[in-house]
Chains A and B, each alone.
Chain A
Amino acid sequence: MRKYFARKIFVYALTFFVAVTINWMIPRFMPGDPVQSRLARASLNNPEASQAMRDYYTSVFGFDLPIWQQYLNFWGALFKGDLGISVWLFPTPVTDVILRAVPFSLGLLLPAILLSWVVGNRFGAYAARSKWLDNTVLPVGYVLTATPYMWLALLLAWGLGIVAGWFPVAGAYSFALRPDFSWMFVSSLVQHWFLPFLSMFLVALGGWAIGMRNMIIYELESEYSNYLQALGAPRRLIRKYAFRNAMLPQITGLAVQLGTVVAGSLLTEIVFSYPGLGFLILQAIQNQDFFLLQGAFLFIVAGVLIANFIIDIVYVLVDPRTRIQLQGGVK
């Protein structure tokens, strides 16, 4: 058990290390000079001004130091929570900008992931039971998983937001309101939240339904199902056992799919101008705010790693076999 978690934590720590290193390396080793490209975009004619800007950017990136020193400084700043200053929202530190956006992203992601997982599993389990349902759920599920997140978001925003006028299509709350705990503000918040949530929920739903359906069919072919059937056990009981066994790979699937769903939430937020991390990333790209972009990247990686670790714990808690198996050091 301890060995299992030690191993997991090691992989996550290594991943974080790799992510930070990528983050540090990309501006330095990509073809092209980041300082030069910034100067070109500022398009200064005055040589003095451009020299001042060059000095500024060189010192911001720390390009005047030896490489190893740059790398260590990067880590040092990171541990102090210093990710640089945002260009887009000058002079706000990147960490503050991101921390303001994180609650909105989480508020979308957590319900969308959990609900789609629960509902998708139910659907899939039912679908595996009947031929008619299977023939409808399966194609619908595949089409949903093949749908790009932003496209479904666009369709919903257009259909339910603009044509039908039922929901607002931009922002997290009405621009006429100030954040407080009034009934009006909360209802505005919920109204703005619903469409982005719905579109993420729908896209994610298909994958879980298909996965569960396949797992149930696989479980129903296994020995214990046949044995129960031979004993004359009721169908419902066999189904129940199959469902519980099929749950476990679905939990692992949750960890594997996390990156995809997070990516989907970024794209969905952009469509709805929802002020989460995805919207920040779009602003960062459009405003050439590289510190903000890199900060957001690190936050996303850290979030995914933490979520993975939570899923690992849940997996062990749900499945008593892993505990025994892992004490023996198998796997």
Chain B
Amino acid sequence: MTAAQPLPDPLAGPEGTAAALPEAPRREALYFALRNKKLLIGSAIVGSLLLLGILAPFFFQNGPNERIAPPGLEPSAQYWFGTTQFGQDIFVQFAHGVRSTFLVGVLGGGIGAVIGMTVGFVAGYKGGWIDEILNMITNVVLVLPTLAVLLIIAAYLESRGIVMQSLFIGLTTWPWAARAIRSQALSLSSRDYVDLARLSGFRTHKIILRDIAPNMSSYLFMTFILLFGGSVLAAAGLDFVGLGPTDGMSLGLMMHQAVKWGALQLGVWWWFVPPGLGITAIVGSLYIMNVGLDEVFNPKLREM
């Protein structure tokens, strides 16, 4: 989780060079996006896995936990990823797992992003004692070890679903985002056009939504991607400990079952390699996509 690594400052670059033509920046970004290898490769991997997760479960009449084949088969033409010791098709499990991984990422990352942005914008724009209090809360949640908190919550939940899991993950992973957004918002809120908006009597939320947020939209998007990756990894950790969804399938749960039923000792590598590879591919491609996006939006980095 590189979540806490600072994103390069988008405000540091020369401003307003392309602002003379309102159409230009967007077209320019698209131009560079289509020529950025990191962005293209990253989004190709994420996109194809997303398609697999959305579409593949429709093509199987069997659920991920159904025992339909001889146990412990190696990968073959019929069972692409082989079968488990219980005769479950690992490819079916994988497809369902990828689906829930994306769900956790979008929901957990989304909730985290909303909280982080709200706290960050309000703290950065308002300043004063509101900033102090929000900062305090942010710092407290920041030093709490996330997985430990999630473990203790999940252990007491009787039935666990993916949505519930994402909610709790979102509630614990936002602080670094709030911090990063706060410092950006702080520097933006002293700009002239924000002063103008304030003098014109606009409400706070309107100024934040119309004047501050759009000027750092690429930054916000990248924050969301990092939160997405963080949520996926947190969920995988929880599932692996055995506190995953009580019904359904996830990539972490697959690894949990593989370890629990001795896949390591039995040499059933096709049971634990695909789920981890899936997570690494999704999160890694997202991170690399992020670097690509950074190069697209930040002219200073384009030559590299």
Contacts and interface: CB of A to CB of B under 8 A. Distances in A.
B143 interface: yes
Nearest to B158: A32
B282 to A, nearest CB: 8
Nearest to B172: A259
A148 B264 contact: no
Contacts of A211: 2, 5-6
A256 B8 contact: no
A217 to B, nearest CB: 8
Contact of A149 (B139, B237, B283, B291): B237
Interface in A1-45: 11-12, 14-15, 18-19, 22-23, 26-27, 30-32, 34, 37
B35 interface: no
B143 A210 contact: no
B155 A151 contact: no
B132 to A, nearest CB: 11
Interface stretch (A77-85, A90-98, A152-160, A177-185): A152-160
B149 A267 contact: no
B194 interface: no
A214 B287 CA distance: 14
B145 A146 contact: no
B233 interface: yes
Contact of A259 (B145, B241, B267): B145
Given A154-B255, A263-B237, A267-B237, A37 B158 contact: yes
A130 interface: no
B2 to A, nearest CB: 5
Interface in A82-123: none
A11 B143 contact: yes
B245 to A, nearest CB: 15
Interface residues of A, number: 72
Contact of A158 (B6, B139, B264): B264
Contact of A142 (B136, B240, B287): B287
A53 interface: no
A155 B151 CA distance: 24
Contacts of B277: 151
A214 B6 contact: yes
B144 A15 contact: yes
Q: Which of A15, A27, A296 has the most CB of B within 10 A?
A: A15
Interface in B77-113: none
A145 B287 contact: yes
A253 interface: yes
Nearest to B268: A158
A169 interface: yes
Nearest to B271: A154
Given A147-B280, A207-B5, A142 B291 contact: yes
B4 A304 contact: no
A146 B280 contact: yes
Given A146-B287, A151-B272, A282-B241, A297 B265 contact: no
A242 interface: no
B152 A22 contact: yes
Contact of B255 (A32, A150, A163): A150
B158 A31 contact: yes
Contacts of A18: 140, 144
B145 A148 contact: no
A305 interface: yes
Contacts of A134: 304
Contacts of A249: 6
B81 to A, nearest CB: 15
A304 B265 CA distance: 34
Contacts of A263: 145-148, 234, 237
A260 interface: yes
B156 A30 contact: yes
A293 B147 CA distance: 13
B4 A256 contact: yes
Contacts of B51: none
B215 to A, nearest CB: 21
Nearest to A11: B139
Nearest to A40: B158
Given A146-B229, A157-B264, A139 B2 contact: no
Nearest to A140: B284
Interface string B184-228: 000000000000000000000000000000000000000000000
A143 interface: yes
B269 A11 contact: no
14 contacts: A15-B140, A30-B153, A146-B229, A146-B287, A148-B233, A151-B272, A154-B255, A154-B258, A207-B5, A249-B6, A258-B145, A281-B241, A290-B156, A297-B152
Interface of B: 1-6, 8, 136, 139-140, 142-149, 151-153, 155-158, 176, 229, 233-234, 236-237, 240-243, 252, 255, 258-259, 264-265, 267, 269, 272-273, 275-277, 279-280, 282-284, 286-288, 291, 300, 304
Kindly list the 9 A-B residue pairs having the minimum CB-CB distance in the complex, ordered from nearest: A151-B276, A263-B147, A146-B284, A146-B283, A259-B145, A256-B4, A142-B287, A211-B5, A30-B156
Given A31-B157, A34-B156, A207-B2, 9 more contacts: A18-B140, A18-B144, A30-B156, A149-B237, A154-B258, A258-B145, A262-B147, A263-B146, A263-B237
